[in-house]
Amino acid sequence: MNTEPTAPARLRITHAECDGALIRFQFGAQTQPGAAGALREATDAQERAADNPLRIPCTRLAGPAFGECWSAGAVSESAETCGAAWAHGDQYAMVAISVDEAAGDIEQAAEQAYQRLITCVRPSEHPYLLRIWNYFSAINQGDGDGERYRRFCVGRAQGVDGSFNDPPPAATAIGASHATGKVQVIALCARVPAIALENPRQTPAWRYPREFGPVSPGFSRGALLDVDSDTPCLLASGTASIVGHVSRHVDDVRAQLVESLANLEALLAEGTARAKCNFSLGDCAALRVYLRHPTDLALAQGVIAASALPAERVVYLHGDVCRRELAVELEGVFVARP
């Protein structure tokens, strides 16, 4: 009788229906810039989905209509209740949490969301946080330390435990394309920790100087998974036109995209060195391009088309970048070649 252990299921991301889905990321209804009727349809769909913690509150401008299906073998347990949804597999789990902002208090909502996340995840069979997505509206509203993104960072820091920043997980924070009144947090968790990655072209976010707020953003630039397999996976955090800690190419969206792609390639090179395998733009399983201005869609598609990224795996979303002077941000999943 064969008693050898079965190899663990690896993370897989597709833009089609898949077996054993941990989560299907759904995006706001599709629209086109300047199309009033389509905008009304998008708004209606967003209102109908307002209480769905799995739907990303960013209007889809172009790209795969299905969304993203994340799977890793059979799902053993799942539920959706009280503004939270979760699914547990063998090696991985997904948790989605939605917290109402009481009177617009983004700091308190962020603190509650992360307290709930830590409470759910740490005692579970998947205690390690690998990748987190954060969405809330009006991300740049407010001045100085009163900016909503900075208050969110303060609330997050108050809600996490002592292990959260040792090192912090890969993450993205994006402003919703419509008012939600909620903080949405979606997290990929695992039985074993990932390898946190930093970009040699950029200052680690958790080391940003005081000028960026009273609390540094809590995220790593990327996470490396399944390094013991022939096809490791690299999850790239939100990547923008930042060199060191300084925003570059303000008011030039094309140049911002080119700089963001250079940062993405630098991160892939770092993952290649750490995993002893080859990551490249062509190995992209899924990429999200967040655009502050939907009218920049054609320009962004042109820049992406000129790169090695597979166009059929790129989705363009209307969402605000956490730095108000920047207009575009990228994030993605890359699977190394054996």
What is the rounded CA–CA span in Å between residue 105 and residue 182? 10
Q: Which residue would you say has higher pLDDT here, 53 or 85?
A: 85
Query: Which superfamily does 12-335 belong to?
Result: RutC-like (3.30.1330.40)
Q: Does 51 have pLDDT greater than 90?
A: no
Output the pLDDT for position 6.
60
Average pLDDT of the residues in 56-82: 86
Output the pLDDT for position 46.
42
Output the pLDDT for position 49.
42
For the stretch 149-187, pLDDT in tens is: 999 999 999 999 999 998 899 999 999 999 999 999 999
What pTM value is reported for the model? 0.91
Can you tell me whether residue 47 is helix, strand or coil? helix
Output the pLDDT for position 329.
98
For the stretch 257-298, pLDDT in tens is: 999 999 999 999 999 999 999 999 999 999 999 999 999 999
Residue numbers annotated as active site: 329
Spans of all domains in the chain: 12-335
What is the rounded CA–CA span in Å between residue 166 and residue 160? 11
The region that residue 67 occupies, defined by phi over 0 for left and psi between -120 and 50 for alpha, beta otherwise, is left
Res. 89 pLDDT band, cuts 50 70 90: confident
> Residue written as tokens 């598609």?
301
